[in-house]
Amino acid sequence: MTDLRTAIARKRALDGLFALLALLALLTGLLALLALVVDLALDGAGRLSAQFLTSYPSRVPERAGILSAWVGTTLVMLVTALAAVPLGVAAGIYLEEYAPKHWLTDLIEINIANLAGVPSIVYGLMALGLLVYRLRLGQSILTGGLTLALLILPIVIVATREALRAVPGTVREAAYALGATRWQTVRDHVVTAATGGIITGIIVGLSRAIGETAPLVTIGALTFIAFLPPPPVQPNPPWISFDWLFAPFTVVPIQMFNWISRPQPAFHANAAATGLVLLAMTLAMNAVAIYLRYRLRRRLAW
């Protein structure tokens, strides 16, 4: 009897010990995130100011800022979104709503799974060889935006497919029963119902693209830019100009990388402040995505 009791007690103790260990592992991950944010804030919060956001990089760390970097990031993201969203959503719609089940569809599916696992720097090499030199787009905003668009394409496709898959078949059948064509069904009912999920995927994809450094370093984005690209709206006819697409550029993560690589601690403070800006952007985008996903799950009551 006492043997049994001790055996049970030992089993319980072991169970508690293991639960504690597993909880500790979980906390390690969360603490690392906290340490990272606190470290950046301690090092960089002092440098965050209006001056920092409105100045060009400079040899004097106190006068330097990230104006050209965040303008570059905004323009590159514009190109990325304009290229990746239509292409990725269309591909997702085809694979989920149209594609017949045969070898080509299988091939496309395996291919997308593989593309999602290709290291980002390989996309950079592809862009360097193909976009920069063979298509002669140069080391421009257009090249950078397209590179990141290809990089996040699998994310957008997979998210679109998952959102479409969650729409029940009854919605489609109801539309068909009223005589709608396939495209009318998809456009007016299925995609409309899946919009929230698709937008969540797009936000996650773009937040990934904002933080990407390696592929843009590879295509030769510059690290020191003390001017802005030509504005898209001109004072003279024809008023709209696309010259900015072909302008050299830098982005926020590359500016940060550049400052980390310098030996002076004052530049490291600039890097930390830039990191805070970058982190705020990506975490805010992810928070929006998490919130959307949460709301969608509650509202979905098919």
Binds other proteins by CB under 8 A, chosen from 33, 82, 174, 226:
33
Surface-to-core class of residue 286, CB atoms within 10 Å of its CB (0-12 exposed, 13-18 middle, 19+ buried)? middle
Q: Does 272 bind other proteins (CB under 8 A)?
A: yes
Residues 192-221 that bind other proteins (CB under 8 A): 204, 207-208, 210-214, 217-220
Q: Does 28 bind other proteins (CB under 8 A)?
A: yes
Binds other proteins by CB under 8 A, chosen from 11, 63, 165, 262:
11
Q: Does 12 bind other proteins (CB under 8 A)?
A: yes
The minimum distance between CB 38 and other proteins, in angstroms, equals: 10
Q: Which of 238, 275, 281 is nearest to 256 (CA)?
A: 275
Rg (C-alpha) for the chain, rounded Å, is 25
The minimum distance between CB 43 and other proteins, in angstroms, equals: 7
Residue 233's DSSP bridge partners are 240
The minimum distance between CB 228 and other proteins, in angstroms, equals: 22
Give residue for tokens 């029963």. 177
271 alpha-carbon distance from chain centroid: 21
Task: Give the range of 60-68, 90-98, 170-178, 241-249 binding other proteins by CB under 8 A.
Answer: 90-98
Residues 94-123 that bind other proteins (CB under 8 A): 94-95, 98-99, 107-108, 110-115, 117-123
Q: Does 166 bind other proteins (CB under 8 A)?
A: no
Q: Which of 77, 147, 143, 151 is nearest to 112 (CA)?
A: 151
Hey, how many other C-beta atoms are within 10 angstroms of the C-beta on 15?
Answer: 10
Q: How far is CA 207 from CA 77, 97, 223, 260, in A?
A: 10, 27, 21, 22
Nearer to other proteins, 91 or 247 (CB): 91
Residues 46-85 that bind other proteins (CB under 8 A): none
The minimum distance between CB 47 and other proteins, in angstroms, equals: 14
Give residue for tokens 């995927």. 201
The minimum distance between CB 197 and other proteins, in angstroms, equals: 16
Q: Does 177 bind other proteins (CB under 8 A)?
A: no
Whether 251 and 72 have beta carbons less than 8 Å apart is answered as yes
Q: Which of 227, 165, 215 is nearest to 190 (CA)?
A: 165
Task: Compute, in degrees rounded to 10, the torsion defined by CA atoms 113, 115, 121, 125.
Answer: 160
One character per residue 117-156, x = contact with other proteins (rule: CB under 8 A):
xxxxxxxxxx-xxx--x----------------x--xx--
